[in-house]
Structures are given as structure tokens and as C-alpha cells.
Amino acid sequence: MGALLLGLGAATSFATAAEPEPVYELRIYTCNEGRLPALLARFRDHTCALFEKHGMTNIGYWVPTHDEDGAQTKLIYLLRHASRDAAKASFKAFGQDPEWQAAREASERDGKILAHAPESIFLTRTDFSPEVVLKQETPHRTFELRTYTTPEGKLEALHRRFRDHTCALFAKHGMTQVGYWDPMDAEDGAGSKLIYLLAHASEEAAKASFAAFREDPDWIAAKTASEADGSLTVPKGVQSVFLRPTDFSPLQ
């Protein structure tokens, strides 16, 4: 009996260890002029609940803070799926759901909402990314979506710098790290891009944190050492978009 129980315990441990890592999906919707409120209402009243009904986990929903980033036209959101196949099955069931079809039809009586098909980027968490924590004690934060593009063959060096230095220094200077991801598909930057999400008390706090971070001797030393063979990002390879969470976003 003891041997049997040990065997069952080992099998359970193996099954747990073998559970696949979930995938994330970053989706960007661009609306026709004046139609963003209708899109937000549709998500608030229908879409988010239907996503959950069909096996998708809502992580966060944001609108850019600045007009040049799409403050009047864009919705950016993040989902979690058990796998790519699960995502495909979930969206198929969602699209066929009569409740979704009715909600979409009603929301577009005054005109088509989206200017073009949504952008979708499938992502995997890096090994240094924290678990995404939805319950937060500090609501009404400002978020920052950052994308780094590396020269060919430099992504692992960038990962190593974040793993060994940057993440700890971000925390030191008051930045909350929500998650770090790599795109899964070549057309989205697999092998050359790192996408990550930070949270700040405000945009002013973000600027102050980054100013202190860049002046930190530990960061200067880490950057210098890591770039002995050249920069880890291409020219204009660092993009930053400030975001405000919608009122229906799980992550606030």
C-alpha cells in the first residue's frame, strides 16, 4: 500500500509538472471615429462575460492616455488561454454564440464600430516574469506597455539583463512589474521582441521612476557590461504607450 501511495504521489507530481504554460493574447482594436464608447459599452455589457463563458480569462482592458497613441479610437486588452488551440476553440464558440451575435448587431445599428480587423499577438511569459496578479490594493493606476526590439541574436542578452539586473532595479525605483512576454509568431517579432507591462501611481511617477533608474550606478554598470558588443535594441527600438484601465478591467 505504501508503495502504491508513493507511486500515485509521483504520478500526481509528474502530471502537475507537465501542465502546459498558458498563453496570453494581446489584442488591439481600432474604432471608427466616435465609436469607441459603443465598443466599450459592448465589452462592459456583453463581451467580457461571454469571453469567460467560453473559457477565456480577462486580464486587463485599457485605453491609451494620449491622442497620438489612440486615446479616442483604440482599445487594448490582454487575455489568457490554456493554449493556442484552446484560444481558437474559444473564439469559435464565442463567435457562434447567439448572445454575442445579438449584442454585436444591436451595437452596430448606428454604424460599424471597428475600422479594420483586430490585431492579435500571441505571447508566452518569460522565465523572469511574475505571475499576473489581478487583485490589487492600489486601484486607479497608470499602466505602461513597453516593447523592445533587438538586433538579430540579441534577445537572450536582453532577457539576461532583465533577469539579472533590470527587474530588481525597476522594483527598487517604485515600478510594479505586471508581466514580461515574448511574441510567439515571427510576424509579431518572435526572437527579436520583448513586450512588458508596468504599473505606476501616475504618469508623473513613471517619469520620476525612470529618471532615477537611468541615473542608478548599478543600472549604468549593467547596461555598459551588457552592451560591450553593441546595443541590445535597434535604433528607435523602445516603444512606450501609457494606458488607463477601463472601468470593467479586472486589472486596475
What pLDDT sits at residue 10? 45
Helical packing angle, 98-107 and 84-96, nearest 10° = 70
User: How far apart are the C-alpha atoms of 166 and 218, rounded to whole Å?
Assistant: 9
Q: Which residues of the chain have pLDDT under 50?
A: 1-16
What pLDDT sits at residue 2? 46
Burial degree of 24 (CB within 10 A; 0-12, 13-18, 19+): buried
Domain ranges of the chain: 23-123, 126-245
What pLDDT sits at residue 14? 43
**Model confidence pLDDT, tens digit, residues 25-41:** 999 999 999 999 999 99
What pLDDT sits at residue 20? 81
What pLDDT sits at residue 133? 83
CA dihedral 44, 27, 76, 251 (to 10 degrees): 70
What pLDDT sits at residue 1? 39
What pLDDT sits at residue 77? 98
Q: Do 23-123 and 126-245 come out as alike in CATH topology?
A: yes
Q: Determine the topology of domain 23-123 in CATH.
A: Alpha-Beta Plaits (3.30.70)
Q: How is residue 111 annotated by DSSP?
A: S
User: How far apart are the C-alpha atoms of 116 and 121, rounded to whole Å?
Assistant: 16
For 126-245, CATH number? 3.30.70.100
